[in-house]
Chains A and B, each alone.
Chain A
Amino acid sequence: MTDLFSSFNYGVIIILMMLGLYVVFAARNLIKRLVGLSVFQTSVFLFYISLGKVSGGQPPILVDSRGLEKTDHAASPIVQVAASDDIAAIHSLHHVEAVLYSNPLPHVLILTAIVVGVATLAIGLALTVRIREVYGSIEEDVIDRLDYQYNLEGAGE
């Protein structure tokens, strides 16, 4: 049961991913298929963000420890450590307060992937607009029927 809750984010990701894929393949409306594609891609963004989260980790923002000492908020200087460092050793050697930080790299990667997703969606919507102008419909059944007739009549002039 604890396993289920500790990795429930992955459960959510899998559900979103399957929902998205299902919509892409089952829907017959061009806009709905794009919505499915977006949901599918968003689940991957969540996957990457989950991946970078270190349990108990703080946001990876550099804290100026001297500034904290002046306001007497912290007794000992704060040092940020990555999850891969040996935290106990840092504690005992330097008399500092060690704070874990989450891995920022996947988050940066996913910024790129979000931009890619936006571009894909924009092109997809632009294509849908053009299809609507040419065929007068965004239902695949209608478009298929029109294309079938077009094939029978011959593509050339």
Chain B
Amino acid sequence: MDILSLLPPWLLTHGVALLVVLPLLAGAAMAVIPRERIAWTITFMVMLICMLCALTLALQVIDQGRLSYKMGGWEPPYGIEYVVDALSAPVLLLISAMAVICLFYASPSVKAEVEPKKRAAFYGAFLICAAGLLGMVVTGDAFNVFVFLEVSSISTYVLVAMGHSRDRRALRAAYDYLILGSIGATFFVIGIGFLYMETGTLNMADMSNILDGLDGGSRVAQVGFAFIVIGLGLKLAMFPLHMWLPGAYAHAPSFVTIFLASTATKAALYLLLRFAFTIFDLSFDYVVTILSQFVLVLAVVGMVFASIQAIFQTDVRRVLAFSSIAQVGYILLGLSFLTLSGLTASYVHLINHAFIKGGLFLAVGAMWYRFGITRVADFRGLSKTMPWTMSAFTISGLSLIGVPLTAGFVSKLQLATAAWERGYGWAVGVILFSSILALVYIGRILRVAYFETPPQINGVEVLKNEAPLIMLIPMWILAILSIVIGINAGWVVDAAGRAAELLIPTQMIGRGL
């Protein structure tokens, strides 16, 4: 890689640490910064540097393979190791890029939704949340994962609760999220405890080696795995554990919803992949059983049930939140096939869904900014009053349904092919059925927006009132990205393929079929 040789050497060696340290330090500094503009500028610069770090790391990973960084110079099994490989590099890039894209949008949106005194602190909480998410993905130490998981969760509770000046139900949503999120994280830490009990190490690579030596018979590790799957299941909104998600997404400030919807569940999904396939692996029978039966059933039920629930919601943000739960089902379905193509499909959908759902929530946030509306019934005539916003919403919406030439079609086609190869013809049917349900819930919003006339307020028809340019740019970046991936998905599929090869090494292919 030529670009790598042009970069300063310190960025190449310490980029991994900067990714977490910078937002964490800047987040703490926000406590003493009084001015909102300064806070926004610092946040933006920090996340931009993080994105550049993630980009260089991704290039380095393509060039050299696995990168390992010894935190504080301590050797890996004893010290904390940070690892970037083909599995984590795309997720790191996704999180930091989504943060930068959202921040463009933040300045008008936060002004409209958060009390003036709390805005600088709001950016601080956002930075800490981003640091936690990046840390979860980059760390190679199992207990460190828990710490970052909680760092991101606790700041997320605060961010969700900040929505109370717009909608008082945000407080209750944040409280429910706090209770369930803490239970999830505690289950996760119980699982880590069992793994530590069995292996005596916290380093993921070391843990994986020791577990391999145990010949798959260890009951303690088995219990640990169950706790970890449930704990992460709560965090990633696996179907029956999704209760916190609709409230948190529907009542948080728009900016928070956009960032959470596109990154938080993705980071938890990444952890599930990391734990299920690299620390444990398919040579353990219980891992195969849990993933290919338990997770498969929950994924399918989630895809159908959450989509049906989405149809009956009156609030657009709740429609999209339930749709997120269904999309998590798609990702889990691909994972539960335990094949290379299945994992590739699930990883592609993980990336695509972040762009799609980010784009949709960006558009909905802009509509609230202009007209203060989130209910489906209030979307009347939006195609005339906010044409640009509505067309970005439409493109992302079509992508969510899976119309050809969009990102959603690429990942759904991959998933259906993987299901067919696995011999699950019925799963193809479920994917189709769930897509039809998506057509219903997105179509319902589009029908109101396109085929009904704008409402009249006090006898005067509402006039065209487009969102500001700074809000339009990010949603159009994501909408265009959706189409670009739909036309040429090669780069996303390649990245996902490399991640899948890492998850299922050659000797494991065909295990558990």
Which A-chain residue is minimally distant from B185 (CB atoms)? Answer: A116
Determine whether A69 belongs to the interface, using a CB cutoff of 8 Å to chain B: no
Size of the chain B interface, CB-CB below 8 angstroms = 35
B189 contacts across to A, CB distance below 8 A: 44, 113
Give the CA-CA distance A97 to B172 in the complex, in Å.
Answer: 60
A134–B179 touching, CB < 8 Å: no
A131/B150 in contact, CB under 8 A: no
In the complex formed, the residue of A with least CB distance to B155 is A123
| Interface flags, B176-198, vs A, CB<8A=1, else 0 | 00110011011001100100110
Distance A44 CA – B161 CA, assembled complex (angstroms): 27
Contact indicator B154/A123 (Cβ below 8 Å)? yes
Report if B157 contacts A (CB, 8 A).
Answer: yes
Total count of chain A residues near the partner, CB < 8 A? 35
CB < 8 Å neighbour of A155 from B167, B171, B179, B202:
B167
A contacts with B: majority SS:
helix
- Residues on the A chain within 8 Å of B157, using CB: 123, 127
A47, B372: Cβ atoms closer than 8 Å: no
> A127 to B179, Cβ gap below 8 A?
no
Q: Does A65 contact B (CB under 8 A)?
A: no
Taking CB atoms and an 8 Å cut-off, the chain B residues in 193-227 that contact chain A are 193, 196-197, 200, 202
B9 to chain A, nearest CB (A): 33
The residue in chain A whose Cβ has the minimal distance to the Cβ of B153 is A120
**Quick check: is A143 within 8 A (CB to CB) of the other chain?**
yes
| Bound CA–CA A157/B372 (angstroms) | 8
The answer to whether the Cβ of B436 comes within 8 Å of any Cβ in the partner chain is: no
When the two chains form the complex, which single residue of B150, B164, B183 contacts A24, counting CB atoms closer than 8 Å?
A: B183
* Bound Cα distance A106, B190 (Å): 12
Least distance between B394 CB and chain A CB atoms (Å): 23
Query: In the bound complex, what is the Cα–Cα distance between A33 and B175 (angstroms)?
Result: 10
Closest chain-B Cβ to A55's Cβ sits at a distance in Å of 14
Q: How far is the CB of B373 from chain A (nearest CB, A)?
A: 7
By beta carbon, the residue of chain A nearest B158 is: A123
Q: Which residues of B contact A91 (CB under 8 A)?
A: none
Using A51-B197, A113-B146 as known contacts, say yes or no to A41 and B182 having CB atoms under 8 A apart: yes
Point out residues on B near A: beta carbons under 8 Å: 143, 146-147, 150, 154, 157-158, 161, 164, 167-169, 171-172, 174-175, 178-179, 182-183, 185-186, 189-190, 193, 196-197, 200, 202, 315, 372-375, 378
Q: Can you identify 27 A-B contacts, CB atoms within 8 angstroms?
A: A21-B183, A24-B183, A33-B179, A34-B179, A44-B186, A44-B193, A47-B190, A48-B193, A51-B196, A51-B197, A106-B196, A109-B143, A109-B202, A113-B146, A113-B189, A116-B146, A124-B178, A127-B157, A127-B161, A127-B175, A130-B164, A131-B171, A134-B164, A147-B169, A150-B168, A154-B375, A155-B374
Interface residues of A (CB under 8 A from B): 21, 24, 30, 33-34, 37, 40-41, 44, 47-48, 51, 84, 106, 109, 112-113, 116, 119-120, 123-124, 127-128, 130-131, 134-135, 143, 147, 150, 154-157
A44-B186, A109-B202, A113-B146 are known; give 12 further A-B pairs, CB within 8 A.
Answer: A24-B179, A37-B179, A37-B182, A47-B190, A51-B197, A106-B196, A109-B143, A116-B185, A120-B178, A127-B174, A128-B175, A147-B172
* The 5 residue pairs across chains A and B that have the minimum distance between CB atoms: A116-B150, A127-B175, A131-B171, A134-B168, A120-B182
